[in-house]
Structure 1
Amino acid sequence: MSAEMKLEDFKPACESNATKNGLLSKFNMDEILNCMHCGFCLPACPTYRQTGLESYSPRGRIALMKGVAKEQLPIDAEFEKNMFACLGCRACETACPAGVPYGSLIETAREVVVENEKQTNPKHVFVKNLVFKQLFPHPKRMKLLGTALWAAQASGLQSLAAKTGLMRILPREMAEMQQAVDQIASPRERKSRQTRMNPEGNKAYTVGMFTGCIMDVMFYETNQATAKLLSKAGCEIYFVEEQACCGALHAHSGEMPGAVELAKRNIEAFEKANVDYIVNNAGGCGAALKEYHHWFHDDPEWMERALRFVSKVRDANELLAELPPLTFNKPLNARITYQDSCHLAHGQGVRNQPRSLLRSIPGVEFVELKNADSCCGSAGIYNLTNFDMSMDILDDKMEHVKNTKAHYIVTSNPGCLLQMKQGIHRAGLDGQMEAVHIMDLLSRAL
């Protein structure tokens, strides 16, 4: 659809189930109409840069939403394709002079698609059902998954499958992704974690660790490193029981009822904990946690509880930057660059704190990455559902990463970390560069 084409040019669509079910009322027309179609978002949008298609740009997608909301366009397979081709990186929000909340608009559009039962891609349906209903809402199942992955690694099964070519029976996107998975903590190690960690020196705050679902399975050591850093900075740490997945992946994929239920579970769990701050180390999780109140716009009681929860949420980089400086005893003597997590930079506005923390490590030469805040292509499960587009975006990103000649590419989100590990392998940089979470690198320098 061209920028000049007016929605009035389209013939009204036939009455749909969406109209009958009141789905179209979910669209916020005030937010949609705030878009001036100025085009500032175009160069910031990864999918528009890759394709040049107006319907793959933020303003194009908003125009399509307007058409659907006004019943001038149907909720069909084409609308679904355009909405789900978006990475949800929210770089357009940073670029937008009108402050259009594109992130909430795209989530609403996807919710309308899902509820209208127009999911036409069998692979998408299978992946989403597995992720959103069978896996992520169930912490015990996530732990079982972690145990299964650990067993495959510890037994040499994963290595054998890769050497013999057996891995090729997996879908290409999963076969490539497994190469990026590091050694997972053993069940014994995970069970041995204490629920409380004492502060070193004078106590500054009581902190509840939001461990996340993927983080605590695949990046258990990163959660431990984060807790250790905060305790050294004077925080008493609690690993709060009964917490659940943050719901970000559900919300980004239009599965809002599931997202809301997870939010309620987390709000209740941390209310019982009565901590000063709720700290996480995953940019995508943190953005969702800080926006819980938006998920309860029609529920005043939960809105109030969500606002209290949100007021306590901090990214680990944020809180560490506010606390007394850490004392690092191990110079790294390395060149380092930093890849912004989209939801940390664009969603939470946390940009300077990670860079300041990295520069504080003795022996570090910090090199700024060109377009550091452009998406790496991970975007939740985008690298599974839109593999080719994800890899195109990643390969472009790695050209800039190569130019830094860095020893470490550092990020603050688990999905980004896996994607950058995959990018290093695809770019032939194995042995020359390591992708590492910022909390792990800071912990090494202690």
Structure 2
Amino acid sequence: MIATEESKKIQQQFAEKMDMDELLNCMRCGFCLPACPTYIETNFQEKHSPRGRIALMKAVADGMIEFDDDVEESLDLCLGCRACEPACPAGVNYGMLLEDARDIISQNKKHSVSVKAVRNTVFEGLFPHQNRMVNLTGLLGFYQRSGLQKTVRKIGFMKLFPENLAQMERVLPEVPKKNEMKERPDFLQANTVKTKTVAFFSGCLMDTMFMKTNDATLELLQMAGCDVVIPKSQGCCGALHGHSGEKAKAIELAKKNIAAFEDTNADYIVTNAGGCGGFLIGYDHLLADDFEWNERAKVFTQKLRDISQILYELDFHREYSLCLPGAIFTYQDSCHLRNVMHTAAAPRQLLNAITNAEFREMPEADRCCGSAGIYNIVEPEMSMQILDHKMEHVESVQPGIIVTANPGCLLQMKLGIERAGLQGKVEAFHIADVLLKAAKSEINPKR
């Protein structure tokens, strides 16, 4: 329960800090409603729609209602997928409003000792420190390779956990060894005629748990004629912090990354994680109140590209013969890649260029899969409800491969395959892994 004193503090902060112009931009037209997964999944409850949540934020800011558990539940249940933004004729920046509201709530609500400990461990002690991410992933690797994982499964230990967490344990990728994660390159030369110099945002999870996909991405860039710079001083993008009410830490991480990439003199900054890209491209909004850093952030964001977009712009699909005999693909959009970075055509065009294969468009491929950062952990019921409906759409096109463009989406789709009993029939891969395999299936490129 939220205490009266906390409620008053939050109401005061809403009135002082929320962007009233942005709240007033919402015309209550309802164009956002069909785009909102939680509105649909809750049988069209207005409070779980973007329009409804904006109305609640404004009512709290105006002092019309108290901030209470119902308001907090509405904001917590939002996926932050931002599908409402492309649907909005007024261009309301809903994602910014949601992050500001969550930040105010987090900074003024008294968390329990256990919640404080978890938040401090995750937001302060782990994600901002890549060496600790490496150490933690190394422990996971030991768990996988030592035989401990088999033992844990054999004795039924995972049955003590909620079903969705036990299923997640089964779909975790095989992680690299600790030494491999520490021996990362900082520069790679194009392996053909150089066309561009790009800087690669390696990420925290992507360069540990999903390091093989990062390696595939780097190789694709080299094949496309890019010299690749990987700044050593970069760090976590801050998305997890920004989405969870830790705005000050997100700003600190944003400044660190902007500074890390400024000296690369790169034509583009490339990311291969839709969730990271969606947050990185909003650094100018995040730093809007700091003139110097806002200007530096604008330069940073203008260079940002997803791996699929840069490969498409460099005609990778025309320069190389892409081939995967017998493959049947479908594509699940990363919400932030589509809704924030506005990249939806490029991945599909690349997949459609693969010969001796078939691309099948999934119904509602643009709707969130329910992963949404740590949403599938903190809101498991709604997340699994959304995922199960997603898998119905997957089964309707009967693919052999689900392609994604974000690590969270990838794990969620693997989880969906597990829940739907499609193991052995359907697999899920990151688009970089699929494209590299397709490019290497032909010995001689067209160059």
Instruction: Tell me whether the two structures share a fold, i.e. TM-score over 0.5.
Output: yes
Contact 1:80 1:119 in 2 (8 A): no
Amino acid at match of 2:254: A
Is the alpha carbon distance of 1:431 and 1:16 closer, same or farther for their aligned partners in structure 2, counting shifts above 3 Å? Answer: closer
2:443 corresponds to which residue?
none
Contact 1:212 1:246 in 2 (8 A): yes
1:152 matched to 2:143? The reply is yes
Q: Which moved more, 1:212-221 or 1:164-173?
A: 164-173
Unaligned 5+ segments in structure 1 are: 1-12
1:229 matched to 2:200? The reply is no
Describe the SS at the equivalent of 1:332: strand
Is the alpha carbon distance of 1:119 and 1:88 closer, same or farther for their aligned partners in structure 2, counting shifts above 3 Å? Answer: farther
Q: How many angstroms apart in 2 are the aligned matches of 1:22 and 1:335?
A: 52
Cα offset for 1:273? 2.6
1:391 matched to 2:388? The reply is no
Amino acid at match of 1:163: K
Cα offset for 1:367? 0.3
Is the alpha carbon distance of 1:125 and 1:328 closer, same or farther for their aligned partners in structure 2, counting shifts above 3 Å? Answer: farther
1:40 matched to 2:34? The reply is no
1:161 corresponds to which residue?
152
Cα offset for 1:123? 7.5
Q: How many angstroms apart in 1 are the aligned matches of 2:88 and 2:406?
A: 24
1:4 corresponds to which residue?
none
Describe the SS at the equivalent of 2:399: coil
Contact 2:10 2:108 in 1 (8 A): no
Is the alpha carbon distance of 1:14 and 1:192 closer, same or farther for their aligned partners in structure 2, counting shifts above 3 Å? Answer: closer
Contact 2:81 2:372 in 1 (8 A): yes
1:6 corresponds to which residue?
none
Cα offset for 1:127? 4.6
Amino acid at match of 2:82: R
How do 1:262-301 residues align onto structure 2 when only pairs under 5 Å count? Answer: 262-301=253-292
Is the alpha carbon distance of 1:358 and 1:68 closer, same or farther for their aligned partners in structure 2, counting shifts above 3 Å? Answer: same
Describe the SS at the equivalent of 1:419: helix
2:445 corresponds to which residue?
none
Contact 1:17 1:116 in 2 (8 A): no
Is the alpha carbon distance of 1:385 and 1:301 closer, same or farther for their aligned partners in structure 2, counting shifts above 3 Å? Answer: same
Q: How many angstroms apart in 2 are the aligned matches of 1:43 and 1:123?
A: 38
Q: Which moved more, 1:352-361 or 1:66-75?
A: 66-75
Amino acid at match of 1:77: D
Is the alpha carbon distance of 1:123 and 1:90 closer, same or farther for their aligned partners in structure 2, counting shifts above 3 Å? Answer: farther
Pick aligned residue for 2:55 from 34, 38, 63: 63
Cα offset for 1:124? 6.0
2:178 corresponds to which residue?
187
2:197 corresponds to which residue?
206
2:336 corresponds to which residue?
343
Cα offset for 1:16? 5.5
Amino acid at match of 2:325: L
Cα offset for 1:362? 1.8
Q: Which moved more, 1:296-305 or 1:415-424?
A: 296-305
> With structure 2 as the length reference, what TM-score do the two structures score?
0.93
Q: How many angstroms apart in 1 are the aligned matches of 2:427 and 2:220?
A: 21
1:350-378 deviations in Å (ceiling 9; x for gaps): 01000011111121200000000000000
Contact 1:209 1:239 in 2 (8 A): yes
1:88 matched to 2:62? The reply is no
Moved segments of 4+, more than 4 Å: 13-17, 19-23, 122-127
Contact 2:198 2:226 in 1 (8 A): yes
1:444 corresponds to which residue?
437
Contact 2:7 2:68 in 1 (8 A): no
1:375 matched to 2:368? The reply is yes
Contact 1:77 1:118 in 2 (8 A): no
1:365 matched to 2:364? The reply is no
Amino acid at match of 1:322: E
1:194-214 deviations in Å (ceiling 9; x for gaps): 322110222111111101111
1:24 corresponds to which residue?
15
1:7 corresponds to which residue?
none
Describe the SS at the equivalent of 1:301: helix
Q: How many angstroms apart in 1 are the aligned matches of 2:413 and 2:293?
A: 38
Is the alpha carbon distance of 1:440 and 1:377 closer, same or farther for their aligned partners in structure 2, counting shifts above 3 Å? Answer: same
Unaligned 5+ segments in structure 2 are: 440-447
Size of the aligned set, in residue pairs, is: 433
Pick aligned residue for 2:246 from 239, 255, 269: 255
1:33-88 deviations in Å (ceiling 9; x for gaps): 11111222112111111112211111110000001111222233222211111000
1:73 corresponds to which residue?
65
> With structure 1 as the length reference, what TM-score do the two structures score?
0.93
